[in-house]
Chains A and B, each alone.
Chain A
Amino acid sequence: EDKVVQSPLSLVVHEGDTVTLNCSYEVTNFRSLLWYKQEKKAPTFLFMLTSSGIEKKSGRLSSILDKKELFSILNITATQTGDSAVYLCAVPNTGNQFYFGTGTSLTVIP
């Protein structure tokens, strides 16, 4: 059965800390993995990863995919209170059905 698992479920850090969020997957005919950030509204797109070992970066956020070990990590450096959110990982299967993890809830304390 296709599935996506995220860890940890929640995380509380202080401003300035670096965090690493994990996403492992088992999805038939993998082609991509997506990261989203969800505050009190709709998820907003962060990254899409398709190739193993190639880091995607956007400011303080970066992500990398390991297709051999079937996981991805999302790193956030120098965290700010505005980074507080739920971070979701999603993987589509062959039929374009997206499987989402339950998310990691990140709280950044000033």
Chain B
Amino acid sequence: KAGVTQTPRYLIKTRGQQVTLSCSPISGHRSVSWYQQTPGQGLQFLFEYFSETQRNKGNFPGRFSGRQFSNSRSEMNVSTLELGDSALYLCASSLAWETDTQYFGPGTRLTVL
């Protein structure tokens, strides 16, 4: 079974731009969660989607948004990029909502200049 895939793997943007990241979960998995990982803050939860609905949201500003499609693929969008948005963005998939074993993708390394 293929693992979680994320595209692109690396991205360089400038302040003020917007970016869209993509995540394809493991086949059959319906829940997708997004995390931001920085050296100072560690892994922080952004949001979770299940059956195309956002089930939970972390403490991030409204510039961070996401969606999930009927095939469970998910996208995350960050608008008006700030320098502090530079991070590794990880996506994790699990079988269903409140199924605790999450499997992570390789991440997208976003650098904001």
The chain A residues found within 8 Å of chain B, CB to CB, are 31-32, 34, 36, 41-45, 48, 88, 90, 92, 95-103
Q: Tell whether, in the assembled complex, residue B100 and residue A34 are in contact, meaning their CB atoms are under 8 Å apart.
A: yes
Partner of A42, one of B55, B58, B107: B107
Collect the chain B residues with CB atoms within 8 Å of residue A103's CB. Answer: 42
A95 touching B102 by the CB < 8 A rule?
A: no
Q: Are B100 and A31 in contact (CB under 8 A)?
A: yes
Give the 6 A-B residue pairs with the shortest CB-CB distance, closest first.
Answer: A42-B104, A100-B43, A102-B42, A95-B56, A32-B100, A43-B104
Number of chain B interface residues as a range: 20 to 34
A74 to B: closest C-beta gap in Å: 16
Known contacts A34-B100, A97-B56; A42/B43 CB under 8 A? no
Asked if B103 contacts A45 (CB within 8 A), the reply is yes
A43 in contact with B90 (CB, 8 Å): yes
Bound Cα distance A96, B55 (Å): 8
Question: What per-residue 1/0 map shows which CB atoms of B7-25 lie under 8 Å from chain A?
Answer: 0000000000000000000
Determine if A92 and B100 form an interchain contact, defined as CB atoms under 8 angstroms apart: yes
18 additional A-B residue pairs with CB within 8 Å, beyond A41-B107, A96-B98, A97-B45: A31-B100, A42-B105, A42-B107, A43-B104, A88-B42, A90-B43, A95-B55, A95-B56, A96-B31, A96-B33, A98-B33, A98-B35, A98-B102, A99-B45, A100-B43, A100-B44, A100-B45, A101-B42
Chain A nearest CB, measured from B112 CB (Å): 21
- Closest CB in chain B relative to A87 CB, distance in Å: 12
A90 CB to nearest chain B CB (Å)? 8
Chain B 35-74, CB within 8 Å of chain A: the 1/0 string? 1000000111100100000011010000000000000000
Q: Which residue of B lies closest to A94 (CB)?
A: B98
* Chain A residues near B48 (CB-CB < 8 A): 96-97
Question: Bound state CA distance, A92 and B42, in angstroms?
Answer: 16
Select one of A41, A42, A48, A101 contacting B100, CB under 8 A. A48
- Nearest CB of A to B45, in Å: 5
Q: Which residues of B contact A99 (CB under 8 A)?
A: 45
**Smallest beta-carbon distance A25→chain B, Å:** 14
